[in-house]
Structure 1
Amino acid sequence: MGNDVALTPGERQALVDPFSPTRGHGLHWQPAQSERSLDFASIVRILREHRWLILGAVVAGLVFAVIVTLMTKPLYRADVILEVNPPNVEVMDENKRENAGPSTDSWDILNTQVGLIRSRSLAERVAQDLNLAADPNVVGTQGDAATRMKIAATVVQSGLKVEVPESGQLVSYSYVSPSPQLAARIANGIADSFIDSGLQRRYDASAYARRFLQQQIAKTRGDLEKSERELVAYAQAEGIINTATGEPGSAGGDASSLQGESLVSLNKALADATARRVLAEGNYRQAQIAGAADAAQDTSALRQARASLEAEYQEKRTLMKPDHPDMLSLRSRIDELDRQIAREGGVAAGGRANTLLAEYRAAASAERALQGRVASLKGSVLDLRGRSIRYNILQRDVDTNRGLYDALLQRYKQIGVAGGVGASPVSIVDRAEVPPGPFKPNLLYNLLAGLGLGLLAGVAGALGLEFLHDTIKTREDVRSKLDLACLGVVPRQRGKGSVVEDLKDPASPVSEAYSAILAALRFSTEHGAPKSMLITSTEPAEGKSSSAFALAQNYSRRGESVLLIDADLRRPAFRGASDRQGLTKLLTNDEPVRGHILETQFENLWLLPCGPTPPNPADLLATGRFKEVLREASEHFDRIVIDGPPVIGLADATLLAAVVGDVMMVVESGRTKTRAARDAADRVQASGAKIVGVALTKSTDEGSHYGYRSYRYGYKRIDEPKNEIVMISHQPES
Structure 2
Amino acid sequence: MENGTHLGAGEGPLERYMPAAGGNTRPYSPAMFSLTDIRGVIWRQRFILVGVVLFALAVGLTLTLLATPKYEASASVRVTSSGPDIVEGQEYLVSAGGLTRERETMSRVIQSRSMARQVVERLELHDNADFMGSDSLPEDERSVEARKFSAAQKLQDGLSAQLPPNTQIIMMSYTSSDPALAAAVVNGYAETFVTLNVQEAVEANSYARAYLEEQIAKTRNELRDAEIEAIQYARANNIVGRPMGVGSGTEGEGADAGTATTLAASTLTGITQTYTEARTRLINSEARWRMVANRPAAELPEVQRNSAVQSLQTRRGEMRSQLADLRQRYQDDYPAVRELISNMEELDRQIAETENDIKEGIRSEYEIARQQAAALAAELASVSSATLDEQDRRVQYNMLDRDVDALRSQLDDLLQRYNQITAATNLQPSNLTILDTALVPSAPSSPSLFRNMLVALIVGLGVAGGLAVLRETLEDRIRSIEDIQSKLRLHAVGQVPLVADGDVIDDVKNSFSVVSEAYASIRASIDYVTRDLEKKVLQFTSTEAAEGKTTSSLAIARSYAAVGRRVLLIDLDLRRPALHRALLQNRPKQGIVEAIYGHTALQNVVIKAEDGYDFLPIGSATPINPVEILSSGLVGEFLNKARASYDVILVDGSPVLGIADAPLLSRFVDGVIFIAEANRSPARQTRTALSRLTGVGANVIGVIVTKFQPLEAGENYKYEYSYYSYSERD
Aligned to 1:473: 479
The amino acid that maps onto 2:538 is M
Over 3 Å counting, the alpha-carbon distance change for 1:246 and 1:163 in structure 2 is: closer
Task: Give 1:183 deviation, angstroms.
Answer: 0.9
Aligned to 1:63: 58
- Equivalent residues in 2 for 1:288-303 (5 A)? none
Over 3 Å counting, the alpha-carbon distance change for 1:213 and 1:624 in structure 2 is: farther
Instruction: Answer yes or no: is the 8 Å Cα contact 1:78–1:432 preserved in 2.
Output: yes
Matched, 1:446 2:448: no
Cα distance in 2 between the residues matched to 1:564 and 1:369: 156
- Equivalent residues in 2 for 1:278-317 (5 A)? none
Over 3 Å counting, the alpha-carbon distance change for 1:596 and 1:131 in structure 2 is: farther
Matched, 1:246 2:206: no
Aligned to 1:359: none
Instruction: Answer yes or no: is the 8 Å Cα contact 1:584–1:613 preserved in 2.
Output: no
- The SS at the match of 1:525 is helix
- The SS at the match of 1:566 is coil
TM-score where L is the length of structure 1: 0.61
The amino acid that maps onto 2:193 is F
Task: Give 1:63 deviation, angstroms.
Answer: 0.9
| Aligned partner (choices 376, 395, 406) of residue 400 of structure 1 | 406
| Aligned partner (choices 577, 595, 612) of residue 624 of structure 2 | 612
- The SS at the match of 2:618 is strand
Matched, 1:158 2:166: no
Cα distance in 2 between the residues matched to 1:544 and 1:395: 120
Once the two structures are superposed, what CA deviation does each residue of 1:228-256 show, in whole Å capped at 9, x if it has no partner? 45335434544x36463333554966754
Identity of aligned residues (%): 27
Aligned to 1:23: 19
Over 3 Å counting, the alpha-carbon distance change for 1:546 and 1:162 in structure 2 is: farther
| Aligned partner (choices 665, 681, 693) of residue 672 of structure 1 | 681
Cα distance in 2 between the residues matched to 1:627 and 1:384: 144
Matched, 1:82 2:89: no
Over 3 Å counting, the alpha-carbon distance change for 1:574 and 1:562 in structure 2 is: closer
Instruction: Answer yes or no: is the 8 Å Cα contact 1:489–1:696 preserved in 2.
Output: yes
Cα distance in 2 between the residues matched to 1:625 and 1:161: 92
Over 3 Å counting, the alpha-carbon distance change for 1:462 and 1:492 in structure 2 is: farther
The amino acid that maps onto 1:68 is L
Over 3 Å counting, the alpha-carbon distance change for 1:477 and 1:369 in structure 2 is: closer
Matched, 1:646 2:625: no
Matched, 1:483 2:491: yes
Task: Give 1:136 deviation, angstroms.
Answer: 4.7
Cα distance in 1 between the residues matched to 2:630 and 2:535: 21
Instruction: Answer yes or no: is the 8 Å Cα contact 1:545–1:573 preserved in 2.
Output: no
Cα distance in 1 between the residues matched to 2:73 and 2:187: 9
Aligned to 2:573: 566
Once the two structures are superposed, what CA deviation does each residue of 1:11-43 show, in whole Å capped at 9, x if it has no partner? 8844xxxxx884246756235344454336x65
Matched, 1:130 2:123: yes
Cα distance in 2 between the residues matched to 1:540 and 1:399: 114
Cα distance in 2 between the residues matched to 1:542 and 1:507: 17
- The SS at the match of 1:485 is strand
Task: Give 1:76 deviation, angstroms.
Answer: 0.4
Instruction: Tell which deviates more after alignment, 557-566 or 393-402.
Output: 557-566
Once the two structures are superposed, what CA deviation does each residue of 1:324-369 show, in whole Å capped at 9, x if it has no partner? xxxxxxxxxxxxxxxxxxxxxxxxxxxxxxxxxxxxxxxxx9x999
- Equivalent residues in 2 for 1:63-212 (5 A)? 63-87=58-82, 90-93=85-88, 114=107, 116-119=109-112, 121-139=114-132, 140-141=135-136, 148-212=147-211
Flag the structure with larger Rg: 1
Once the two structures are superposed, what CA deviation does each residue of 1:120-146 show, in whole Å capped at 9, x if it has no partner? 554444334334344454452368556
Instruction: Answer yes or no: is the 8 Å Cα contact 2:60–2:452 preserved in 1.
Output: yes
Over 3 Å counting, the alpha-carbon distance change for 1:654 and 1:419 in structure 2 is: farther
Aligned to 1:39: 35
Cα distance in 2 between the residues matched to 1:446 and 1:233: 89
Aligned to 2:335: none
Cα distance in 2 between the residues matched to 1:12 and 1:414: 92
Once the two structures are superposed, what CA deviation does each residue of 1:60-99 show, in whole Å capped at 9, x if it has no partner? 133112111122221101122333334485544489x9xx
Over 3 Å counting, the alpha-carbon distance change for 1:60 and 1:643 in structure 2 is: same
Aligned to 2:539: 534
The amino acid that maps onto 1:607 is I
Matched, 1:388 2:394: yes
Aligned to 1:5: none
The amino acid that maps onto 1:177 is S
Instruction: Tell which deviates more after alignment, 371-380 or 482-491.
Output: 371-380
Task: Give 1:670 deviation, angstroms.
Answer: 1.3
Over 3 Å counting, the alpha-carbon distance change for 1:178 and 1:630 in structure 2 is: same
> RMSD value over aligned CA atoms?
5.6
The amino acid that maps onto 1:483 is H
- The SS at the match of 2:540 is strand
Cα distance in 2 between the residues matched to 1:453 and 1:478: 35
Cα distance in 1 between the residues matched to 2:46 and 2:266: 117
Over 3 Å counting, the alpha-carbon distance change for 1:542 and 1:216 in structure 2 is: farther
The amino acid that maps onto 1:563 is I
The amino acid that maps onto 2:479 is K
The amino acid that maps onto 1:234 is Y
- The SS at the match of 1:657 is helix
- The SS at the match of 2:679 is coil
Aligned to 2:361: none
- The SS at the match of 2:617 is strand
Instruction: Answer yes or no: is the 8 Å Cα contact 2:175–2:182 preserved in 1.
Output: yes
Task: Give 1:543 deviation, angstroms.
Answer: 1.7
Cα distance in 1 between the residues matched to 2:11 and 2:379: 135
- The SS at the match of 1:471 is coil
Once the two structures are superposed, what CA deviation does each residue of 1:386-420 show, in whole Å capped at 9, x if it has no partner? 32322232232233223323432442344234337
Task: Give 1:155 deviation, angstroms.
Answer: 2.8
TM-score where L is the length of structure 2: 0.61
Over 3 Å counting, the alpha-carbon distance change for 1:620 and 1:133 in structure 2 is: farther
Once the two structures are superposed, what CA deviation does each residue of 1:455-474 show, in whole Å capped at 9, x if it has no partner? 56556655664465343334
Instruction: Tell which deviates more after alignment, 595-604 or 48-57.
Output: 595-604
Task: Give 1:187 deviation, angstroms.
Answer: 1.1
- The SS at the match of 2:492 is coil
Cα distance in 1 between the residues matched to 2:17 and 2:47: 40
The amino acid that maps onto 1:631 is N
Cα distance in 2 between the residues matched to 1:370 and 1:699: 129
- The SS at the match of 1:540 is coil
Instruction: Tell which deviates more after alignment, 508-517 or 377-386.
Output: 508-517
Aligned to 1:525: 527
Cα distance in 2 between the residues matched to 1:263 and 1:439: 87
Task: Give 1:432 deviation, angstroms.
Answer: 0.8
Task: Give 1:190 deviation, angstroms.
Answer: 1.9
The amino acid that maps onto 1:230 is E
Aligned to 1:697: 707
Over 3 Å counting, the alpha-carbon distance change for 1:572 and 1:218 in structure 2 is: farther
Aligned to 1:216: 215
Aligned to 1:431: 437
Cα distance in 2 between the residues matched to 1:262 and 1:233: 24
Unaligned runs of 5+ in 2: 1-9, 93-98, 250-258, 279-370, 610-614, 713-730
| Aligned partner (choices 48, 51, 54) of residue 53 of structure 1 | 48
- The SS at the match of 1:388 is helix
Instruction: Tell which deviates more after alignment, 428-437 or 396-405.
Output: 396-405
